[in-house]
Amino acid sequence: MKTDGNIKNIVVAAIRRHSMDLDTWAGTRLWEAGDPERMNELSRQSELVPDELPILYSYCDSRNWTFVTTRRIWSCNEGGVGSIALPDVETYTLGNFKGYAGQRIERMAVTSRDGSVRQCPYETGKPSMGTIYAVQTLLQLR
């Protein structure tokens, strides 16, 4: 059985392996390299359970962000904060993650087993790889 620490290490390695120019990303960061102000804000709005570890966030603005942990995908879409536990994720769709036509923000639609859909805002272009590979790798590990 994998610990949260092991899961985090695997996901961070996948993100690093598949991403380019991590240090230039504007609002998407691995947790350890995150902005302290953003980290405090996300920590206040996301109630992590014991042993749940933060991995990455994509912060578009205070009303639109996604925060990935070892157990859940947290998001705030137009001010509505919520999360979906990884075992409950049925499917997800990425949308225009490359940012065609100058689109800077996209929303990953995450569908749970009960049919509800959570919209998870993230940066497009190179930073999108962080959010995409975090979610993809976590779902492969579950």
pLDDT of 94 strictly over 80: yes
**33 inside domain:** yes
Mean model confidence pLDDT for the chain: 96
Arithmetic mean of pLDDT, 86-93: 96
Number of domains in the chain: 1
Give the per-residue pLDDT at 142.
80
In-domain check, residue 11: yes
The whole-angstrom separation of Cα 99 and Cα 39 is 25
What's the rounded Cα separation, in Å, for the pair 89 and 47? 19
The pLDDT of residue 98 is 92
Kindly state whether residue 55 falls inside one of the protein's structural domains.
Answer: yes
User: For residue 84, what pLDDT is reported?
Assistant: 97
Question: Across the strands, what pairs with 51?
Answer: none
* Half-sphere exposure in the Cβ direction for 95 (13 Å, CA): 18
Q: Is residue 23 part of a domain?
A: yes
Domain that holds residue 61: 4-87+126-141
Instruction: Tell me whether residue 107 is in a domain.
Output: no
In this structure, is residue 38 part of a structural domain?
yes
Rg (CA), the chain: 14
pTM (predicted TM-score) = 0.94
Asked if residue 98 is part of any domain, the answer here is no
DSSP-assigned letter for residue 48? P
With residue 141 as reference, give the H or E element that holds it.
helix 128-141
In a domain, 24, yes or no: yes
